[in-house]
Every structure is written in structure tokens, then in C-alpha cells.
Structure 1
Amino acid sequence: MWIYDSFFEVRGFTVEETRDSLVAGRRLDSFTAYIEKSSVPDLEIPKEFAKFKSLPSDENFKAILRAAILLTKPEKGRTGVFVAVGNSHASKLGSRYAMYDMLPGIISYVLDLKGPGAFLSSTCDSFGSMVTMARAYISSGLIDHALLLTSNLMLEGSDFKPSAILSSNGRCLPFTTLRDGSWPGLGAGGVVISNSRPAGHGVVGLRSSVTFSAGRDRASFTAPSIDAQQSAIEEAWGIAERDLGRASFIECHATGTKIGDSLEIESLKRALRRDHRIDPLLISASKEFIGHLDSASGLASLTRTYDHLLGMVAPKCSPKAKENEDVELMDGKVRLAFGERLNSQEATAGVTMNGISGSTTHIVLEREVL
């Protein structure tokens, strides 16, 4: 199974600026610009969807439709459509999830896609849960391809005040001694996964995707579960038939909160114990540069990992993060990636996505060359 195409952009920035920032390690603070009401043009409903212009719509609605048009899709076979929207409670459109739950059907109708359509919400892990669901559909033979779309463009600035989750200094600095919480971000896009191998000398395969719910196996409803994360990681690498101990890097969920980062690192270290890795495992976190995009955060992590595998280079944290890395937390088993070159023609990476509802997903990607 392959990543056939991907598209992601931070609100107010181009696709190129977004992806360049994640590769080069430059910050794009879309949330501050949003609450300061900077002049970002409103999105338009694509002309292909003109038939539905009379429906109530907002920026999330239009961003999902835009991504559906811009993504390259295989020409033959059955395609499922899966949609997730972050912070839907902030929408002013009223009932029926602000029409969000109609998006899969609208897209399937306009693009003449014959697979299933689903609107999914499992908090911050929504995108990860969608990947696991879509991969299961493809593996079962019910569909050949999946179009996964997500947006997080509706926020209420007054709702975001310093707390145990929100950073007091406006920066998200995961796995550092400076971490004190996350910072919001806005973005949208999608990805196409397929049984059809995309053209090109370098391609990225989706080797596995595993999603677990933690149940009551955690300190509280909002606390992440070490065991669930460890189980998802171990099972994902087992299904992929790859060795976590030989992974090129792991893109973490990494909210920058003290408890979240600590439990995520602990789950990784436990999963690594049986793999006899000698050198520290490289880890990274896109939230340092673009903030926490709620349901769209998983897409940001996935596209970042995809781009780095294609370029055969590890992600890059900021010099500030590197200088203040929490060495005690890392314990010599993991360390922040800083743009190292990957030294083989085949490279593997994991992506972790967690939700406050208890859902956790781990995905294994692998770059191959012809």
C-alpha cells in the first residue's frame, strides 16, 4: 500500500512555504495571526462544487472541498472518502455538524467515487483513526484507494488561555526542559493512499497503521496511556515486519506538555527494550513549528514524515530545542533529530498520533527506490 499523493498547508501560507518550514525547521504561527485578524483571504468553494454553493459552509467546509480537488487520484478502481474536522464546536453553522458529515457524500457525488464515505471524529487522533480505517478497507478488498481529508480552521481565540495544556509563552517546545504546553495552529489538506504504486524513482509505502483505545488504562480521562501507546507501536512494527530498532526516526505526537511528552517517551523506550538498538533513536515533532492542529495534526505529521523519507534526511528541530533537550527524559535511548542524512536506500519511520479521548495510532512508513 502506498502514499499516492499528499497535500497540506498552514492557513495563511502556501503549500511550498508550509512544507519548506517543516523541512528547514522554521516556525509558522498561524494562530497568533488568526486572533490578531491578519488579512488572509477567505476560501472559495471550488467551481467543481458549484451545485452545492447554497448549502451552509465555512472555511473548514471549503478547505476540505479544495483539498479533494487538488489531490491526484488514481483513475481506475473504487475510492473511499474519509473526512475529519477539528474544533467543529466552534462552527457557527448550527446542527448536523455544520454540514461536515455531508462532505464525504458531496465529494463522492461530484468526483463520481464509488467507495464508502465516512465522517470521523476521535479528537486529536481523528486522522490516525481514518488512516487505520482506510487501510483496513483497502486490505479487505472493498476499495482500491482512499481519499483522506481534514481541516482545522475554526478556532475561538477567547477559549485559549494559559493552562496545563496551553503554553504560557506561545511556543510549543516538545521534549525540552522549556516545555510548558502546546500552541494552536490552523491548517488543512489530505492524502491519497492506494494499492497502486505511484510513478517515480522514490516512493513511500504505508506498511501498517494500528489504532487502539486506552479504555480505562490511564491515570485519568485526559491522561495518555503508556500501555496503549506501547501496544500500538509494537503491533504496527510487527505487522509491517520491520524492526523498530532499525527505524530511521519517529515523528511523535508531542504536544509539549510535561505529562504527554513524558508518557510518550516512556512508551517508546519500553517498545525499544527488546530491539537492542545501540545508538539513540531519532525523534521529531512538527508541533514545534506549526502548532497543534487538532484533528489535522496527524496529517501534518504524516506529510512531514513522507517528505523527509523522500529526501532521505531526518527532520530538524530548532537550535533552541536542541540546546535545551531534556537529557534526563531521553535517558540516552532517544534524542531530538537535527537534520541528519539517512544512510541507506531504504528508510523506515513511525508516526504517532494521540487523542485526548484515549485513541492512539501508530503508523509505519517506508521509502523504497526502483
Structure 2
Amino acid sequence: DIAIIGISGRYPGAATLEDFWENLKQGKDCITEIPIERWDADQLYDPEKGKVGKIASKWGGFIDDVDKFDPLFFNISPREAELMDPQERLFLQTAWETIEDGGYTLDSLSKVSSLQGSDLGGHVGVYVGVMYGEYQLFGAEESIKGNPMATWFSSSSIANRVSYSMNLHGPSMGVDTMCSSSLVSIHLAIDAIHNGLCSMAIAGGVNVSIHPNKYKNLSQNMFVSDKGRCESFGAGGNGYVPSEGVGAVLLKPLGEAEKDGDQIYGVIKGSSLNHGGKANGYTVPNPNAQAGVIREAIRRSGVSVDDFSYIEAHGTGTSLGDPIEIAGLSKAFTGRRQEGQYCSIGSVKSNIGHAESAAGISGLTKVLLQMKHKQLVPSLHSGVLNKGIDFDKTPFRVQQELASWDVPENRLRLAGISAFGAGGSNAHLIVEEYIPKAKKEYHSEDAAIIVLSAKSIDRLEDQVLNLRSYLDNHKDVNIYDLAYTLQVGRE
């Protein structure tokens, strides 16, 4: 079992995971028109799908300030930072926030040794899913205008930048399996830990929509929704809405995490990968392969199909893809003892759009937040269900409202997360909730020393305000635990 001990991310309409949870809980649709800072969508917009040079959608999910970065914090020159793909900068920030969330510092990571006894410290892997590298197009366009410029993109550099900046010595790689990239990255990180290639790992994905080329390509291939909605399992879905996102988790063997007193968001019981092989078309999903990857993940996890109470589906909201996904899931759940629609299903894409190479990590983040709050959030645009799916004959019901995530007594909440790449690369991850062992809370009449640090006065003031805001919203925090984390788990 692998413990998730740190997490961070940014998604449309959510600069923090607390914002993300509020949006999910309230059933907020975070899709907007394409910001003018990206490009003038009205100039390129033509609802006629497939028209060369035009885009069939002017909607998407966008995160704020993708161009903002503090290079000196990471000892990077401003000139070098300007030429770096924004995905590299975003993931570096998110990886930092993830290890901080786990209560680790660069110094403590440098002391993570190999479980095999290697002398080299920093035995931490980095795996990042990434799909698009369109920042280079800006360099080409500037050069055509007579301003020679060579912008840089390498999927490996996104992971390698984290390993370099944090002095980590585990495997470090960018992973591109299209829309399953971030879930595949997590699977590879898990395998690396199991095989002794690293003792811990940072894994996740990043995706941005900074150039209209992506929208032109998706429009030509008739992938995008011209309605500006991801109607996961809803009637009338005719494509997906591209979305931005960046997220990461910090992974560690469960036994080690418990021994070290780490916080644990959830436990990864197992995962699996496969490919659809030859199907009815290059981008047409194969339900048998989807069922196969889920069955294999279940086998590896040692759980039963009757144990599941939630599935975070791929759920792109297409009239073809959604019925195929439910067919594959139903096949994977063959042999169940429970009757009726006992397992809830939903898709974060209905809230934020399809984050492509960050889709899997956005779905995992949603599941972990639901486990934390013991609530299931509504899957949007599913008031009228896809007529091509007879849900009554499946074990699944689409989660259409905010509700308590209830499970039978003595049973833990268990969820599956699916991510399927357009070229046929399938991934499935199974996560179980973690119930921490009761610990004796420390209480004292002594003062607690709250240590805060930053690289400048104005940043320090922001740190104070951030902490105050956090404490206002978390009245149950033990002040001595907080003091300890700020003294030991921060630079």
C-alpha cells in the first residue's frame, strides 16, 4: 500500500485546493470564455466544426496567472525563466507546495535514503504527465516577425527541473500518454517505489492552453463541445471543453509513513495500465480493454467490486465515449454480490472541463477531498442522462447532488479513478480512505513559538496573512502541532 502524504494543485477558478473543494461542493461550473490575454477568440471562432484555421469553441477552463513566476525563489535567472515553458514553471511551484504540504523540507528530502541501503540521499522520484508543448510556437512566430527567439519545451525538463532544484536523485521523467498522462505518472511512481528505485515520489501532471493551435486542432478533429460544457453522462454531449490544471501528490510506502508520523490523505491500493489495441478508430475507446485495466487494478489491490462506493470516471461527455466507458465498467464489475445501483459515479470534468494531461490528478484530488470531508459532490449537466446508457441495469448511479458519503459500518470508503488517452492508453487507480490511529494530543500552558520565514518583507507579511486566514478557517488546529510543523517542516 502507498500513502499519499502531501498534495497541491491549481484548477480553473481555484488558486488553492480549499477553493477547489468549495467549487466542487457548490456544484460550480468553472468554464469561461477564452480570456483575451490568451487570444481573441471572437476573431477565430466559427461554430462550423472542422473549418481549417478556425475554432469551434470559445470556452475553456483557465487558471489565473500562468505567466507569473518568481524565478529568484528557485535560483533561476529571469532571462532563463522567460524562455521556459510555463508548464515547467507551474509544476515546479506545485511540487514545492506539495512537499511543504507533506511537512518536508529540501534538507529532510536530501536525507531520504534508499530502502535498499544506497549511500545516495534524496532518494525521491519525480514523474509528471504532460501533453502539449505549444510555447515553442511563440518563438517561431516572433522569429517570423524578425525577432529571433528560441523558446524551450521538453517534457522531461519539467520533471528534471524539480529534481535539479530540489537535489533529488530518484528517477525523473516526463510522461505523455495523452489524456491518461498524470494517472500513468502516478502508476509509474508507485512501481518505482515497489521496485526500490526510489523511497518516495512526487507525481502528477500539468496542462495549459496558451496558444490557439490546440483549439484549431481539436476543432478540425471534431473533439470540442460547441456548447462550452462537459456534459459527463448527460444527454446531448457532443465533445469536451479543454481545461488547464496542475497538481501533484507526494507518495511513500504506507508502513514508512505511519512510522514517521506523516499525515495521510488516502491509501493507493493498486493501479494498472493497458492499451486498447486495434479498435473501430484511432480515437475510439475499447470497452473490453477498459474493463481489463479496471479488473487488473482490482486484482492488484486485493479488493472486491462490492467494496466500491464511488467511481471518478473519465467521463468526457461525448455521446460515444460515455456509453463505452459504462459498458467497460459494468463488465469489470461482473460477479458482484450487491444488487441495484450501489456505487456512485461522477466526473470532475463537468466542473472544470477536460484537463487533458492533468485530468487524472484532478480526479484523484477530487476523490481525496471527498474522502476528507466524507461527502460526494454533484456531477454537473447530468439532469437528463445520456439515452445511450441504461443506468438501471448497471451498479452505478450518477451523483447529482451534494450528499454524505455513507458506507456500511466497518467498511472504508473505496474509490476507483479512470483516465483514458485518446490514442488508447488506459489507466486505473484504486484509493482507500485512511483512518488515522488515535493519538494523544499534546496540551500545555506553555507558549507555542510560531516561526515564519520568507525571502522578503512583503512576502513575510503575506505568510502571516495566509496563516491567519488558515487558522480562522480551521479552529480545531492544535497550536503545538502547528508550531512543530512550522519549526521542522519548513525552510
TM-score by length of 2: 0.69
1:204 paired residue number: 266
Q: Is 2:230–2:350's contact at 8 Å kept on the other side of the alignment?
A: yes
The whole-number CA distance in structure 2 between the counterparts of 1:311 and 1:147 is: 24
Deviation at 1:114, TM superposition (A): 1.5
1:350 and 2:416 equivalent?
yes
Deviation at 1:154, TM superposition (A): 3.1
2:171 paired residue number: 116
Secondary structure of residue in 1 paired with 2:397: strand
Deviation at 1:49, TM superposition (A): 2.2
1:64 paired residue number: 91
Q: Give aligned pairs, total.
A: 367
Secondary structure of residue in 2 paired with 1:289: helix
Q: Is 1:91–1:154's contact at 8 Å kept on the other side of the alignment?
A: no
Q: Is 2:84–2:151's contact at 8 Å kept on the other side of the alignment?
A: no
Of Structure 1 and Structure 2, the greater strand share is in: 1
2:21 paired residue number: 19
The whole-number CA distance in structure 2 between the counterparts of 1:51 and 1:329 is: 52
1:331 paired residue number: 391
Deviates more, 1:153-162 or 1:244-253: 153-162
1:286 paired residue number: 348
- RMSD value, Cα: 2.5
2:203 paired residue number: 148
Deviation at 1:39, TM superposition (A): 11
1:5 paired residue number: 6
Q: Is 2:127–2:173's contact at 8 Å kept on the other side of the alignment?
A: yes
Residues 178-327 of structure 1 mapped to structure 2, 5 A cutoff: 178-195=236-253, 196-197=256-257, 203-216=265-278, 218-280=279-341, 281-318=343-380, 320-321=381-382, 323-326=383-386
Deviation at 1:290, TM superposition (A): 0.2
Equivalent AA in structure 2 for residue 212 of structure 1 = N
Deviates more, 1:288-297 or 1:275-284: 275-284
Equivalent AA in structure 2 for residue 264 of structure 1 = E
CA-to-aligned-CA distance 1:48-74 (integer Å, 9 cap, x gap): 422354432132121011112111255
Q: Is 1:212–1:359's contact at 8 Å kept on the other side of the alignment?
A: yes
The whole-number CA distance in structure 1 between the counterparts of 2:172 and 2:263 is: 32
1:364 and 2:430 equivalent?
yes
The whole-number CA distance in structure 1 between the counterparts of 2:126 and 2:79 is: 22
Secondary structure of residue in 2 paired with 1:363: strand
The whole-number CA distance in structure 2 between the counterparts of 1:173 and 1:350 is: 20
Secondary structure of residue in 1 paired with 2:359: helix
CA-to-aligned-CA distance 1:266-291 (integer Å, 9 cap, x gap): 00111112113313121000000100
Q: Is 2:135–2:153's contact at 8 Å kept on the other side of the alignment?
A: no
User: Among 84, 87, 95, which residue is 2:129 paired with?
Assistant: 84
Secondary structure of residue in 2 paired with 1:274: coil
1:50 paired residue number: 75
Equivalent AA in structure 2 for residue 14 of structure 1 = A
Q: Is 1:23–1:308's contact at 8 Å kept on the other side of the alignment?
A: no
Structure 1 31/301 Cα, relative in aligned 2: closer, same or farther at 3 Å? farther
User: Among 119, 122, 133, which residue is 2:188 paired with?
Assistant: 133
Secondary structure of residue in 2 paired with 1:130: helix
Structure 1 88/367 Cα, relative in aligned 2: closer, same or farther at 3 Å? same
CA-to-aligned-CA distance 1:311-355 (integer Å, 9 cap, x gap): 22223123x42x212365043112111333222461100000000
Q: Is 2:293–2:428's contact at 8 Å kept on the other side of the alignment?
A: yes
Larger Rg: 2
Secondary structure of residue in 2 paired with 1:80: strand
Secondary structure of residue in 2 paired with 1:273: coil
Structure 1 18/201 Cα, relative in aligned 2: closer, same or farther at 3 Å? closer
Deviation at 1:4, TM superposition (A): 1.3
Deviates more, 1:37-46 or 1:200-209: 37-46
Secondary structure of residue in 2 paired with 1:154: coil
Deviates more, 1:3-12 or 1:114-123: 3-12
TM-score by length of 1: 0.91
**Gaps (5+ residues) in structure 2?**
42-61, 114-122, 141-149, 438-491
Q: Is 1:57–1:99's contact at 8 Å kept on the other side of the alignment?
A: no
Deviation at 1:203, TM superposition (A): 3.5
Secondary structure of residue in 1 paired with 2:247: strand
Equivalent AA in structure 1 for residue 6 of structure 2 = D
Equivalent AA in structure 2 for residue 23 of structure 1 = K
The whole-number CA distance in structure 1 between the counterparts of 2:283 and 2:33 is: 23
Q: Is 1:284–1:336's contact at 8 Å kept on the other side of the alignment?
A: yes
Structure 1 39/112 Cα, relative in aligned 2: closer, same or farther at 3 Å? closer
The whole-number CA distance in structure 2 between the counterparts of 1:69 and 1:367 is: 25
Deviation at 1:184, TM superposition (A): 1.1
The whole-number CA distance in structure 1 between the counterparts of 2:204 and 2:70 is: 15
Deviation at 1:90, TM superposition (A): 5.4
Deviation at 1:239, TM superposition (A): 1.0
Q: Is 1:147–1:190's contact at 8 Å kept on the other side of the alignment?
A: yes
The whole-number CA distance in structure 2 between the counterparts of 1:39 and 1:6 is: 18
Structure 1 325/118 Cα, relative in aligned 2: closer, same or farther at 3 Å? same
CA-to-aligned-CA distance 1:171-220 (integer Å, 9 cap, x gap): 1111111322111111212111111427578641011110111222x211
Structure 1 266/96 Cα, relative in aligned 2: closer, same or farther at 3 Å? farther
Deviates more, 1:120-129 or 1:67-76: 67-76
Structure 1 124/58 Cα, relative in aligned 2: closer, same or farther at 3 Å? same
The whole-number CA distance in structure 2 between the counterparts of 1:227 and 1:31 is: 37
